[in-house]
């Protein structure tokens, strides 16, 4: 089967009016990825040789997302929304070039897994002309019903066209369909629009194929795989299903999630072995975590790479461009951004480290702030290996703290500090012996 070429046609012309959004439906995100990206990722994993994406008129944003994910994807525009078969035929040029197998998918059915696509495609290798993916929803109303005799698929009846008897069938059409490349175009071209909706139904391919004596098959899939997204509520439901998959995969890969249902992962989150994630942690896009890392409760990470043995939080925020080398410790209420922190360095309390390079084993005291922005541009702070920055210091960038240097507590550092030097930048303390006692005595003296 791996020998067979596969053309994937993704229908992404959905309008998303029920999303109440300026954004086209298929660009809404699940676990940090657009729905369209999810579908394309599954088709890639299932071995797509060529990809065609059908978009609505003027949807350059959808086309751009498709080609960002699959650079050689062909984009076709369906100028009028006349039904699913009509939408597939918008990709006629791709179909004409031929493929052994054709898979039709919906971009608003983002949870489909590669193994389900392989299952759907398998009957084609065995000679079927059409295979439809069925599932058993709690409530089948609204879905096309799969009319079967034994293993054979006899017809797909749309809800609006179904008789009372047909409506009683629970086995429903998920919408995803596999077509033999040899027959796909001929079948699609024969589909008419004489039905309750006046649309060209892709599902009619089944009866047309059977009339020609071709084999048609229904394949049973899982309801989670075919959950369609038409509203923000369904988007949240799909997110929940996908988060559960990600958490299970993270745990199977050797991470301990103390309270899995409180950890939110991204589709691209990478966790090493023996990582511990405490409750209430959010992973944004682009996070890679090495082995033996501990992420304490209430952390938020995005675009960050953590090498092995790092510990962060509780309450740490790692922003994009953060790189923490082996054994780095980031403590509570610390924010990092575009910060490369070398092995063994510590930033344990209440700090902001942005646009910075921190050398190995440096220690940044509580409340160390890199002042990286003057309202117009960003500037870099460089802190040398083994440097020690005292508590509550403001490092006004651009500035360099030399290797092994000390910065005294409460400093405002505006000039470079040489290696192994001590920088003090605060006013000298004044002590007035007995002043407080005299002050109190003066105030407590009876009036008059």
Measured from the CB atom, is 228 or 260 closer to ligand UD1?
Answer: 228
Measured from the CB atom, is 201 or 352 closer to ligand UD1?
Answer: 201
Q: Which of 4, 18, 81, 92 binds ligand UD1 (CB under 6 A)?
A: 81
Question: How many Cβ atoms sit within 10 Å of the Cβ of residue 183?
Answer: 19
Size of the residue set binding ligand UD1 (CB under 6 A): 25
Residue 337 · residue 317 · CB < 8 Å: no
Determine if 202 is a binding residue for ligand UD1 (CB under 6 A): yes
Determine if 309 is a binding residue for ligand UD1 (CB under 6 A): no
Q: Which of 34, 43, 51, 172 binds ligand UD1 (CB under 6 A)?
A: 172
Q: Which of 51, 180, 203, 311 binds ligand UD1 (CB under 6 A)?
A: 203
Q: Which of 183, 340, 349, 357 is catalytic?
A: 349
Locus of tokens 């394949």: 219
Query: 349 an active-site residue?
Result: yes
- Phi, psi at 242, each rounded to 5°: -70, -40
Question: How many Cβ atoms sit within 10 Å of the Cβ of residue 138?
Answer: 6
What secondary structure letter does DSSP report for 378? B
- For residue 237, what are the CA distances in angstroms to 1, 110, 229, 231, 234? 34, 12, 9, 10, 5
- What is the contact mask toward ligand UD1 in residues 109 to 148, using x (rule: CB under 6 A)? ----------------------------------xx----
Residue 25 · residue 15 · CB < 8 Å: yes
Determine if 108 is a binding residue for ligand UD1 (CB under 6 A): yes
Measured from the CB atom, is 172 or 180 closer to ligand UD1?
Answer: 172
Measured from the CB atom, is 1 or 136 closer to ligand UD1?
Answer: 136
Q: Which stretch binds ligand UD1 (CB under 6 A): 201-209, 289-297, 325-333, 371-379?
A: 201-209
Tokens of 70: 């699959």
Q: Which stretch binds ligand UD1 (CB under 6 A): 7-15, 264-272, 330-338, 393-401?
A: 7-15
Beta bridge partners of 178: 103, 131
Measured from the CB atom, is 54 or 208 closer to ligand UD1?
Answer: 54
Short-list 299, 286, 317, 305, CA closest to 31: 286
Q: Which of 158, 225, 307, 355 binds ligand UD1 (CB under 6 A)?
A: 158
Return the HEC string of 23-34. Answer: CCHHHCEECCEE
- For residue 171, what are the CA distances in angstroms to 129, 167, 168, 177, 307? 20, 10, 9, 15, 49
HSE, CB side, 13 Å, CA atoms: give it for residue 307.
13
Q: Which of 76, 135, 201, 264 binds ligand UD1 (CB under 6 A)?
A: 201
Q: Which of 173, 180, 322, 351 binds ligand UD1 (CB under 6 A)?
A: 173
| Binding site residues, ligand UD1, CB under 6 A | 11, 13-14, 54, 78, 81-84, 86-87, 106, 108, 143-144, 156, 158, 172-175, 201-203, 228
So which residues are the catalytic ones?
Answer: 349
């Amino acid at each position: 089967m791996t020998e067979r070429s596969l053309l994937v046609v993704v229908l992404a012309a959905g309008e998303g009016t029920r999303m109440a959004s300026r954004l086209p439906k298929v660009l809404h995100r699940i676990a940090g990825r657009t729905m369209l990206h999810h579908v394309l990722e599954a088709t890639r994993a299932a071995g797509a040789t060529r990809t065609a994406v059908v978009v609505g008129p003027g949807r350059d944003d959808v086309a751009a997302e498709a080609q960002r994910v699959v650079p050689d994807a062909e984009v076709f525009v369906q100028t009028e929304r006349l039904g699913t078969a009509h939408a597939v035929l918008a990709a006629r040029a791709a179909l004409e070039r031929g493929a052994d197998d054709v898979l039709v998918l919906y971009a608003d059915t983002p949870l489909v897994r590669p193994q389900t696509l392989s299952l759907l495609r398998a009957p084609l290798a065995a000679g079927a002309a059409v295979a439809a993916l069925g599932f058993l929803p709690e409530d089948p109303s609204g879905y096309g019903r799969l009319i079967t005799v034994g293993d054979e698929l006899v017809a797909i009846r749309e809800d609006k066209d179904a008789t009372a008897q047909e409506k009683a069938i629970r086995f429903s059409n998920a919408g995803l369909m596999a077509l033999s490349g040899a027959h796909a175009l001929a079948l699609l071209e024969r589909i008419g629009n004489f039905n309750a909706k006046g649309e060209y139904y892709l599902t009619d391919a089944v009866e047309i194929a059977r009339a020609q004596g071709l084999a048609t098959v229904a394949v049973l899939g899982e309801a989670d795989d075919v959950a369609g997204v038409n509203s923000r509520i369904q988007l949240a439901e799909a997110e929940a299903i996908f988060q559960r998959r990600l958490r299970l995969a993270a745990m199977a890969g050797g991470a301990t999630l103390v309270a899995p249902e409180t950890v939110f992962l991204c589709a691209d989150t990478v966790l090493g072995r023996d990582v511990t994630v405490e409750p209430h942690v959010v992973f944004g896009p682009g996070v890679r975590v090495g082995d033996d890392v501990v992420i304490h409760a209430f952390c938020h990470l995005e675009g960050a790479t953590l090498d092995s043995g790092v510990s962060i939080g509780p309450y740490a925020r790692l922003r994009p461009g953060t790189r923490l080398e082996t054994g780095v410790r980031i403590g509570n209420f610390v924010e990092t951004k575009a910060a490369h922190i070398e092995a063994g360095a510590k930033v344990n309390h209440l700090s902001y480290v942005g646009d910075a390079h921190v050398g190995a084993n440096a220690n940044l005291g509580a409340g160390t702030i890199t002042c990286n922005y003057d309202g117009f541009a960003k500037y870099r702070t460089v802190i040398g290996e083994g440097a020690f920055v005292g508590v509550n210091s403001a490092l006004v960038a651009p500035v360099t703290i030399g290797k092994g240097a000390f910065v005294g507590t409460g400093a405002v550092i505006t000039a470079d500090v040489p290696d192994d030097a001590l920088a003090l930048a605060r006013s000298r303390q004044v002590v007035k012996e007995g002043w407080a006692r005299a002050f109190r005595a003066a105030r407590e003296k009876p009036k008059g």
